[in-house]
Amino acid sequence: MTTRIDWKGAAFSLMLLFAPAAGAGDSAADIQARIGAGDPVAGKDKSAMCQGCHGADGNSAAPSFPKLAGQYADYIRKQVIDYQKGVRQDPTMTGMAAAVTSEQDLLDIAAYFASQKQMKGSGAGNEKGRGFYVNGDMSRGIYGCVNCHGERGKGKAADNPLFPLIGGQHKDYLVKQLNDLKGRARSNDPAGMMADIARNMTDAEIDATAEYLAGE
Ligand code: HEC
Ligand code: HEC
């Protein structure tokens, strides 16, 4: 596949296109930039079912349910559509995604979770994981995560929904995604750019990096 060979170029041109000086945070402008085209107020009621697992404000309690608080609306929307199309699969979430039949509802639900403050982690973190997050290991083709996911996993830029918010996410969920991406149980990442990274990570690196991120 030619797309696989070109992912770095594609990712870097996208990053340049959106490149801001600062990463993403919770300023009014940042929130406005990430909520997309939906209506967060309407999305609050429309997302009642989703809140049952993902939390009233997008901060889920169970570590297998990802936090959605402050996540990019367009990323949330893409994932729901991917579950609907079957290019991302999960025994629980596939059925939930199928229940969202209106495009406007999806935009509003995504905007609601995106309008919340960015998810925040707890825990002691992990120094090794932090080092790996920042530097990767170019000798094995692992580009530092920070280049795409931003400082502390808080986003590359407020207006770049291609790269999800991962800092502050549950460790168990992060480990599962990295393993799914590594083994291609999850293969909806554009041009396989996450698989190219994850496939070269050891179990120990996955664990340490996830632990670091879960503490941010
Ligand atoms: C019964 C629990 C449950 C409900 C209700 C639920 N989800 Fe989920 N959701 C999950 C689980 C479990 C996952 C992780 C699946 C996986 O590993 O791919 C998930 C994953 C997701 C993701 C991917 C997050 C990411 O960081 O990639 C999105 C987006 C999402 N759900 C949105 C929704 C929306 C919108 C609704 C309501 C229409 C909803 N969910 C309802 C359990 C639930
Ligand atoms: C070249 C850019 C790039 C680099 C470098 C990169 N990622 Fe990603 N990552 C992505 C993209 C794009 C996605 C979203 C895939 C999708 O749309 O489903 C993603 C998704 C993820 C997810 C799933 C998030 C979720 O909510 O389900 C995790 C976890 C993740 N990356 C961790 C990492 C880690 C850890 C590293 C460093 C070892 C890393 N990424 C390096 C581009 C990158």
Cβ neighbours for 104, distance < 8 A, ≥ 6 positions apart: 38
pLDDT at 22: 61
CB within 6 Å of ligand 2 — which residues? 11, 66, 78, 136, 142-143, 145, 147-149, 162-164, 166, 174, 177-178, 188-190, 193-194, 197, 209
136 and 142 Cβ atoms separated by less than 8 Å? yes
Give me ligand 2 centre to Cα 144, in Å.
Answer: 11
Minimum CA distance residue for ligand 1 atom 19: 93
Ligand 1 contacts CB of residue 169 (under 6 A)? no
Closest atom of ligand 2 to 78 CA is 17
pLDDT at 17: 47
Cβ neighbours for 10, distance < 8 A, ≥ 6 positions apart: 3, 190, 191
Cα distance between residue 30 and residue 71, in whole Å:
11
pLDDT at 137: 96
pLDDT at 2: 35
Pocket test for ligand 1, best of 49, 53, 170, 186 (most atoms within 8 A of CB): 53
Cα distance between residue 23 and residue 133, in whole Å:
16
Give me ligand 2 centre to Cα 153, in Å.
Answer: 10
Cα distance between residue 98 and residue 128, in whole Å:
40
Closest atom of ligand 2 to 201 CA is 38
192 and 6 Cβ atoms separated by less than 8 Å? no
Closest atom of ligand 2 to 71 CA is 26
Which residues of the chain, if any, have pLDDT below 50?
Answer: 1-7, 16-21
